[in-house]
Chain A
Amino acid sequence: MMFQDKLINSHPYIKYIIVTAVFFLVLLIDLQFIIFTSRTINLLIRVVYFGIMALGFNMLLGYAGQISLGHAAYMGLGAYLTAYFSNHMGWNFMIILLLSGLIPMALGIILGLVALRMERLYLAIATLGLGVTGQMIFQEWRAFTRGFSGIRLERPEILGFAFNNSRHFLMLITVILLLVIILTYNFSRSRTGRALSAMRDSEYASQSLGISLFKYKLLAFAASSFYVGIAGSLYAYAERYVHPSTWGVELSLDMLAMVVIGGLASIGGSLVGAGFLVLVPRLTAATPVLADITNMNYILTGLAMILVIKYMPYGIYTTIDLKLIQPYLMGRSGENFRYQDLKKESDS
């Protein structure tokens, strides 16, 4: 077995660390020689925080098989909490970030206790109601959100260093993304993660194995609310402005689109999906003929969803991974890593 193979097998998420390190190096070079424009850096920042959001939503939809059309409300809550704590309390960045995940998570558990007694379409409608209610609260609760006036806030500061420069901020949230990826990877391969997957594949079979559907559905709901709250916090810091129009049902549908287009139950898929939804509108706007067609980005996103469901039912990333990357790795080492992973899990 080659060294790389041993490395990948002993530390399965090393590929994420390597990719992050390479990305970091590129950013380091960019910092000194200014290769990317500020606009490109801001787009990359969006890919990162939407990536965390998509990872959270994938936890619910991809790993646990539960639908929600109201997750934008949790992200909005995370963003408003960050703005409020930052402007009124002046708390430390890490504490604010953590609270902006934990409070939506607590709310997610409370609402989940009610909503998760429902299934499929009824769950979708119940969570849609939650999302719409959340947005109305953001619009009307001026003391907390400043309503349609929106809230401005500053970029975070750590140990006296202010991340005002967008390049510095991108590096910071890339590190956070890496931590979230490692957490997700371990979670998905833990006892809980396996129980979620079992529940998604067959509720009857999983119940016969002693898995409490309600407990694990609630866990998935809580974990995804936490992630989405964190993404909301990073959104607020990144954009430095929080406005209620952001947290509508369109954002919840974007989450759905990201994980379906990128790949269900896949870390790489979440990131690819986020990249797709952030970059397609910008590429559309930069293309001469397409730019003249109103709402072309929505049309393309809808078209992409139809094509992906038809021809790549596992999502863009997962399809490329299974058809190109895995066969390449198998051809090189003669072993199937997916099979090895499964074997290792069953052995343990």
Chain B
Amino acid sequence: MIKRTMQVLAVLLVLTLAMGTTILAVEQGVTDDSITVGSVGVTSGPAAFIGIPYYEGIEAYFKSVNAAEGIRGRKIELIQRDDEFDPAQARDHIEALIYDEEVFAIVGQLGTPGVISSAGLVQEAGIPSVYFGSGAAELTELGENFFPVQPNYVYEGMIMAKYAVEHFEAESIAVLYQNDEVGIDGIEGIEKGLSEMGREELMSDDAAISYAPTRTDFTAQIQQVMVEDPDLLFIFGLSQTASLIIRTMEDFGLDIPMLTTYSNADVSFLDTIEPAETAPNVIENLHIMAWLEVDEEGMEPMEEAMAEFYPDSTINSYTMAGWVAGETFVAGLRAVEGELTWENYLVAMDTLHFTEGMAPEISYQPGVREGVTHMAVLRVVEVNGSYEFEQVTEFQEF
């Protein structure tokens, strides 16, 4: 009896698999009057301060495009899902967006762990995925349907090494890096940059100090930095750990220049440090990388759109990043020749050379997915009791 039942189950399984599944139509998400796109990123919990303005930026751009009659008469609709910065939830949402909601493209997926965990799904489906709120270098190698925009952390590490030599004129450097995709890519880039400049002697092996991204106490790491006594400290970590490191530096009186990743380039990051209370002496030593080169004129369209659609929100660098995500996706749409299909969109994006947006230049070539390569250094300054950024170098490539 049992044997027979198992045989029936086996036959059922084989039959089911043989019947196959629904084949995706490449025009999914496109109707005569709309283009539906999806995105996944954190909009609740401790990291919501990144996701909320970021998605306002994307929505504000799409709404402004829709208000100007859309793209060839089609309005863009965004379905945004919150992954709470959890990679498993990100994967679920991406799968649902591709197969249940049947969106045309994934636009601006936010957060390295979620992006990495769902990359296989995006790769497998072949759906266009434009702009990632992540600088993981792996994204540049995942395939022709991936279009990263933000600089990758390996490249950022290289350019940080260049600034260490040319701008800071450092004779020795130390690096505190979190041992995940962010920091590992970063330290690789710093080593590569120093090596290409023939200045490997600036950083000893002991001066590259790793830490777990879940760490909350940096006493040991800062003591090790003090032993190394560097001219410049790189902090390759995201907001929560980076702000704790800066507070610990204040506690130890470690008063040396610091340079951190562009992922922290926002006033809301400074708010997490509460510099006036916890780091009044070291905060003005903080330098941050920046990749968006925008003057007042360049900011105008976003400021107008935000004033119209999100009048109560404050514009910050995350809003700007979201705006760039929207701009990049739409630039690809405008470049499509013929029907709006995945194939035609990928062809259009593959040779995109977009210079009219907020980012200085976004371009792709077949097999080349580097993202933005011009970066500058900002410095924290105090203005009337509050802290803001001041640009101290020109935008340069490595």
Interface residues in A8-34 (C-beta closer than 8 Å to B): 10-11, 14, 17, 20-21, 24-25, 27-28, 31-32, 34
Contact residues, B11-44 vs A (CB, 8 A): 12-13, 15-17, 19, 21-22
User: Interface with B: A95-103, A141-149, A250-258, A303-311, which one?
Assistant: A141-149
Q: CB-CB < 8 A to B229: which residues of A?
A: none
Query: Contact at A168–B180, with CB atoms within 8 Å?
Result: no
- Given A148-B180, A240-B120, A241-B88, is A168 in contact with B16 using a C-beta cutoff of 8 Å? yes
Given the interface pairs A37-B96, A239-B91, the reply to whether A150 lies near B117 with Cβ below 8 Å is: yes
Q: Please judge, given known A-B contacts A28-B16, A241-B88, whether A152 and B117 are in contact too, CB under 8 Å.
A: yes
Contact with B96, one of A27, A39, A171, A241 (Cβ below 8 angstroms)? A39
CA distance A27 to B119 in the complex (A): 26
Contact, CB under 8 Å: B2 / A17: yes
A27 to B15, CA, bound (A): 12
| Nearest CB in chain A to that of B92: its residue | A42
Interface membership of chain B positions 105-124, coded 1 if the CB is closer than 8 angstroms to chain A and 0 otherwise: 00000000100110111001
CB contact under 8 A between A240 and B117, given known A24-B9, A31-B21? yes
Identify which of residues 176-219 in chain A touch chain B, using a CB-to-CB cut-off of 8 Å: 178
The residue in chain B whose Cβ has the minimal distance to the Cβ of A161 is B17
B384 at the interface (CB under 8 A from A): no
- Find A27's partner among B16, B95, B121, B212 (CB 8 Å cutoff): B16
A152 with B120, Cβ < 8 A, contacts A147-B179, A168-B17 known: yes
Cα distance A20–B9 in the bound complex, in angstroms? 9
Q: Is A326 an interface residue (CB 8 A)?
A: no
Residues of B within 8 A of A171 (CB): 13, 16-17
Inter-chain CA distance A152–B120, complex, in Å, is 8
B208 contacts partner chain A, Cβ-Cβ < 8 Å: no
Asked if B257 is an interface residue, CB under 8 A from chain A, the answer is no
Question: Quick check: A148 and B13 within 8 Å, CB to CB?
Answer: no
Q: For the complex, give the distance between the alpha carbons of A140 and B87 in Å.
A: 19
Question: In the complex, which of the residues B8, B92, B113 has the most CB atoms of chain A within 10 Å of its own CB atom?
Answer: B92
Q: Which residue of B lies closest to A37 (CB)?
A: B100
A147 x B92 contact (CB < 8 A): no
Q: Do B117 and A148 have beta carbons less than 8 Å apart?
A: no
A256 to B79, CA, bound (A): 37
The answer on a CB contact under 8 Å between A21 and B9 is: yes
Please tell me if A38 contacts chain B, counting CB pairs below 8 Å.
yes
Are B99 and A38 touching (Cβ within 8 A)?
yes
**Contact A167 B21, CB 8 Å, known A28-B12, A239-B117, A240-B120:** yes
- Residue of chain A at shortest CB distance from B81: A39
In the complex, A243 has a CB within 8 A of chain B: yes
**Residues of B303-334 whose CB lies within 8 A of A:** none
Instruction: With A34-B22, A139-B212 as known contacts, state yes or no: A243 contacts B87, CB within 8 Å.
Output: yes
B1 at the A/B interface (Cβ < 8 Å)? yes
Q: A287 at the A/B interface (Cβ < 8 Å)?
A: no
With A31-B21, A38-B100, A243-B87 known as contacts, the answer to whether A175 contacts B13 (CB < 8 A) is yes
A241 CA to B178 CA in the complex, in Å?
Answer: 20
A5 at the A/B interface (Cβ < 8 Å)? Answer: no
The CA of A148 and the CA of B87, in the complex, are separated in Å by: 12
Q: Decide if A165 is an interface residue (CB 8 Å cutoff).
A: yes
Question: Could you tell me the distance in whole angstroms from the C-beta of A155 to the nearest C-beta in chain B?
Answer: 9
- Expressed in whole angstroms, the Cα–Cα distance for A145 and B167 within the complex equals 38
Say whether B92 contacts A241, CB under 8 Å: no
Which residues of B in the span 88-103 have a Cβ within 8 Å of any Cβ on A? 88, 91-93, 95-96, 99-100
Whether B213 is near chain A, meaning CB under 8 Å from some CB there, is: yes
Chain B contacts for A149, CB-based, 8 A: 116, 180-181, 184
Closest to A164 in B: B124
Contact B179 A148 (CB under 8 A): yes
Min CB distance, A76 to chain B, in Å? Answer: 14
Select the residue from A31, A168, A178, A240 with max chain B CB neighbours within 10 A.
Answer: A240
B16 nearest CB neighbor, chain A only: A28
CB contact between A38 and one of B2, B95, B120 (< 8 Å): that residue: B95
CA distance A118 to B117 in the complex (A): 40
Q: A154 and B120: CB pair below 8 A?
A: yes
CB of B29, distance to nearest CB on chain A (Å): 15
Q: Known interface pairs A17-B5, A168-B16, A241-B87. Does A39 touch B120 (Cβ–Cβ under 8 Å)? A: no
A residues within 8 A CB of B88?
A: 239, 241, 246
A241 and B117 within 8 A (CB): yes
User: Which residue in B15, B96, B113 is a CB contact (below 8 Å) of A243?
Assistant: B113
Q: Are B87 and A150 in contact (CB under 8 A)?
A: yes
Contact indicator A21/B96 (Cβ below 8 Å): no
Residues of A within 8 A of B5 (CB): 14, 17, 21
In the assembled complex, the CB of A222 is this many whole angstroms from the nearest CB of chain B, namely 26
Q: Is A319 in the interface zone, CB < 8 Å from B? A: no
- Nearest CB in chain A: distance from B254 CB, A: 25
A284 at the interface (CB under 8 A from B): no
Query: Which residues from B are CB-within-8-Å of A167?
Result: 21
User: Closest CB of chain B to A167's CB: distance in Å?
Assistant: 7
Closest 4 CB pairs of A and B: A148-B180, A241-B117, A149-B181, A38-B95
**21 sampled A-B residue pairs with Cβ under 8 A:** A17-B6, A20-B9, A21-B5, A24-B13, A31-B19, A42-B92, A148-B178, A149-B180, A149-B181, A150-B113, A150-B117, A150-B181, A172-B13, A239-B87, A240-B117, A241-B88, A241-B116, A241-B117, A243-B87, A243-B113, A246-B88
Binding site for A on B (CB under 8 A): 1-2, 5-6, 8-9, 12-13, 15-17, 19, 21-22, 45, 87-88, 91-93, 95-96, 99-100, 113, 116-117, 119-121, 124, 178-181, 184, 212-214
16 further contact pairs, Cβ within 8 A, besides A34-B22, A168-B21, A240-B91: A10-B1, A14-B1, A17-B9, A31-B19, A38-B92, A39-B95, A39-B96, A147-B184, A150-B87, A150-B181, A152-B117, A175-B13, A239-B88, A241-B88, A245-B214, A246-B88
